[in-house]
Amino acid sequence: MKTLILAFICFSLVACSGDTPQTDNTNTDATAAANTDNPISEAENAPAIELSQKMVEASCGQCNFGLAGNSCDLAIRVDGKAYFVDGAKIDDHGDAHADHGFCNAIRQAKVDGKVENGRFLATNFELMPVEEAPADDHNHSHDDGHDHKH
C-alpha cells in the first residue's frame, strides 16, 4: 500500500510540473502591450507624432501639468496632452522658479521634434518672449474727478 501511495505522489508531481506553466515576472514589450493595467503601454505603442514649427505650451511638468515625478522637469502640452521633453532642460531657459520661470508660468514655445514612447524628443525648442501687460497710460485731464497728486 505504501508503494502505491508513493507511486501516486510521484506521478502527481511529475504530471503537475509538466502541465503548469512557469510564471515569469519579467515584463517584456509583448506582455506590456497586452497588459491593460499598464497605463504606459498605450503611449509606448502609439505611432510617433512629428511636430514641425508647432506652437505649444511649455512649463514644469510636475508643477503645472500634473505629471508624476520628484523634481522639476521641462514638459510641453500639445492638443491637451502633456509630455516630458528630451533634448532641452528646464534650466536651459533661465531660472525655473523666477516669476516667469517654468515652475511659476505656462509659456509658449515653438518646437520641432516628435512625440515617441510618451515623451517629446526635441530637435529645436524656442521659448517665446513673455508678453507684458500694457501699461495704463492714464492720459486724461486733471478735472476728471480723480485725485491727481504731483
Render pLDDT for 37-49 as a digit per residue (tens, 0 to 9): 444 445 556 788 8
Can you list the domains of the chain with their CATH numbers? 43-127 (2.40.50)
- Per-residue pLDDT at 133: 64
pLDDT tens by residue, 9-34: 444 433 444 443 333 333 333 333 33
Nearby residues of 111 by Cβ (< 8 Å), 6 or more positions away: 51, 53, 54, 56, 58, 76, 120, 122, 124, 125, 126
Name beta bridge partners: 112: 124
pLDDT tens by residue, 67-109: 999 999 999 999 999 999 999 999 999 999 999 999 999 999 9
In angstroms, the CA 111 to CA 121 distance is 10
3-state secondary structure of 102: coil
- The number of residues in the chain equals 150
Q: Are 71 and 89 in contact (CB under 8 A)?
A: no
b/e per residue 117-148 (b: at least 16 CB within 10 A): ebbbbbeebebeeeeeeeeeeeeeeeeeeeee
- Per-residue pLDDT at 136: 59
- Per-residue pLDDT at 117: 95
- Per-residue pLDDT at 28: 36
- Per-residue pLDDT at 25: 38
At position 121, the amino acid (one-letter code) is L
- Per-residue pLDDT at 4: 44
